[in-house]
Chains A and B, each alone.
Chain A
Amino acid sequence: MIISWIYWVIVVLVILLVVRCLYEEKSLREQLVAAMVLIPLVLRALFIK
């Protein structure tokens, strides 16, 4: 279904933005927050959860 693939593209885009944020962030706490956000996003992008 096309909507699933649109969703997948959005998820991958957000993952890339979060990873960029992880590297640009100077606060360790914010880096940890970004990492926590990544976990469900990657599991979704891989169609695991």
Chain B
Amino acid sequence: MFEKKNLGSGFSATTILIITAVLIFVSAQSYLEMRTPDPDVDRVVPANGFARKKLSDYFDGLKETPADTDVFIQQGEEPGGTVLILGGTHANEPASTLAAVLFLENTRINQGRMIVVPFANIMGRTHTYPQDGHPQIYHIKKEGSKSRIFRFGARVTNPVHQWPNPDIYIHPGSGQTMAGVERSNLNRAHPGRPDGCITEKLAYGFLKLIQKEKVDLAIDLHEASPEYPVVNAMVAHERAMELAAIVTMELETQNISIRLEPSPKQLHGLTHREWGDHTDALAVLLETANPAMGRLRGRTDEELILTGTDKAYRKAFDLGQLYIPYEDGTEPIAERVARHVAVVKELAFNLEMVREGKGIDLEGVPDYDKIVDLGVGAFLAD
């Protein structure tokens, strides 16, 4: 219609250019907000006893880089084992971060030590995936009108911090080939290298943390699409398999069903493989199911992140395509966080069974049922 009348002119070009500049300005503000969020966003309130350190305290190469992240350590009165809880490896997996924050804000350690990293890859928290339509933040409701706000980021490091990626990524330690984008994925970069790209340096920082703090049990928290087979699951390195099997049975007695998967020996770059191979820690990775990440999802908004309610996923469940029970068509964040918390607690409580003298005794962390009943917000600080 426009071509016939040839309405384009110098005046229209200038007008369009001005409107475009305004749109660019507004978009830029929105994107930049994720890099320098309001102080209330991603705020954590560590429980008494936690000391704050930085990952760069363990690997100098991270100092003054966008990858440097907070590390919180609490030492119990009695000696015992050391557990590392890593949340936020992938910033689009909120149950991972929230479970770590819940431990950080509630735990009192009586025996042993707890190390919590709530935002493992903060470079993934400064952007969302193009065309995925994810909201930039989500609210965890507390009593009354209060809420806590967290960023919903992306699986990989922001390209602003690491670019370009090759077509094929060759994992440095093993020579394994992967899709190029995996070079920006923290959970394909382990054990990392001190002179690699920023994501590999970050992975190397965690290796040094585990080695220097003599971590006994290292737990990496994740979420995945409901149509992915490894959900509501625990992936364990072969040295951690005995502990993982004990915990799986313990959880069955609490009516928390969890798949136990051995860490594939030929699948490199992931925490459960590389931490197990390169450190003395017993390495496990936990997965819950998050419909907001899946390819089958429909409307993508904060509601989907928090409730997991999606018509398309309900249909997929009816067709037998999901790996989670989804009869009621929901997968609420409280249930996903509760699952992570319950598994981590059982792993910590049973560590002494496989490592004599390395027991961990903690209190203050709510049970599965309480989190499901009262919601995550009930256990986060104001």
Contact = CB atoms under 8 A, between A and B. Distances in A.
A6 to B, nearest CB: 10
6 contacts: A4-B163, A23-B13, A28-B7, A38-B24, A39-B20, A48-B31
Given A23-B13, A27-B3, A43-B31, A3 B164 contact: yes
Given A26-B6, A26-B8, A43-B24, A31 B160 contact: no
B8 A49 contact: no
Interface string B8-48: 11101100110110011001100110000000000000000
Contacts of A28: 2, 5-8, 12
Given A27-B6, A27-B8, A46 B28 contact: yes
Interface of A: 3-4, 7, 19, 22-23, 25-32, 34-35, 38-39, 42-43, 46-49
A46 B2 CA distance: 32
Nearest to B5: A28
B336 interface: no
Residue picked from B13, B31, B160, B164, most chain A C-beta under 10 Å: B13
Contacts of A42: 24
Contacts of B28: 43, 46, 48-49
A39 B164 contact: no
Given A7-B163, A35-B19, A49-B127, 4 more contacts: A4-B164, A27-B6, A39-B20, A48-B27
A23 B17 CA distance: 10
Contacts of A27: 2-3, 6-8
Nearest to B160: A47
A20 B8 CA distance: 13
B35 to A, nearest CB: 9
Contact of B8 (A30, A39, A47, A48): A30
Nearest to B9: A26
Nearest to A22: B13
A14 B10 CA distance: 20
A28 B5 CA distance: 9
Contacts of B27: 39, 43, 48-49
A34 to B, nearest CB: 8
Contacts of B6: 26-28
Contacts of B163: 4, 7
A25 B8 contact: yes
Contacts of A30: 3, 8
